[in-house]
């Protein structure tokens, strides 16, 4: 099971199995670990541990949510939706954007709707002021018990 291309089959076994495997690994690491089993972090290749089918992302940062609110509702004096501080606000994420740390990715500059064409479709645009912006993300996969 652990020699496969992903840990999805292991994850499908559920919480009780995860606890068993974690305990077995901890016990093995508390004993004598064979020298050939120890590797420098610089010498190993990271892999995506599971196949991402779909996910929901949440606006966890008030600053980030306010910035998006200003983009999507530029005429609204309060960029945050009224429920933002009371309910988690989520949106559908793209599974293709989940990659191993250190993977080079190409991001679109930004999408905007010009004032000259109200109601027009969003288009990708960019200015020097928007280039190089990054966003810190934290990943967490939660399973119901």
Q: Please confirm, yes or no, whether 64 is among the known catalytic residues.
A: yes
What is the model's pLDDT at position 128? Answer: 44
Number of neighbours of residue 58 by Cβ within 10 angstroms? 13
Annotated active-site residue in 15, 47, 64, 130 = 64
| pLDDT (average), residues 100-126 | 63
Answer whether 52's CB lies under 8 Å from 98's CB.
yes
**Angstrom distance (rounded) from CA 94 to CA 56:** 9
| pLDDT (average), residues 33-57 | 88
| pLDDT (average), residues 55-84 | 86
| pLDDT (average), residues 62-77 | 87
* pLDDT reading at 64 higher than 50: yes
CA dihedral sign of residues 140, 3, 47, 40? positive
| pLDDT (average), residues 136-140 | 44
What is the model's pLDDT at position 116? Answer: 61
What is the model's pLDDT at position 7? Answer: 94
Band (18; pLDDT cuts 50, 70, 90): very high
Residue 17 CA to its chain's centroid (Å): 25
* DSSP, residue by residue, 72-131: H-TT-SS-S-TTTTTS--EEEEPGGG---TT-------EEE--TTSTTPPPEEE--TTTT
* pLDDT reading at 101 higher than 50: yes
């Amino acid at each position: 099971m652990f020699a496969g291309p992903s840990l999805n089959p292991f994850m499908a076994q559920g919480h009780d199995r995860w606890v068993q495997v974690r305990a077995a690994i901890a016990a093995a690491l508390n004993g004598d670990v064979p020298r050939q089993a120890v590797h420098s972090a610089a010498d190993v290749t990271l892999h995506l541990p599971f196949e991402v089918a779909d996910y929901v992302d949440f606006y966890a940062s008030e600053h980030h949510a306010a910035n998006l609110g200003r983009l999507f509702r530029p005429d609204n004096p309060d960029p945050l939706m009224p429920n933002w501080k009371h309910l988690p606000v989520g949106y559908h994420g793209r599974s293709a954007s989940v990659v191993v740390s250190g993977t080079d990715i190409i991001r679109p500059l930004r999408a905007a709707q010009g004032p000259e064409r109200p109601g027009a479709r969003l288009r990708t645009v960019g200015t020097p002021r928007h280039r190089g912006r990054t966003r810190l993300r934290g990943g967490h996969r939660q399973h119901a018990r």
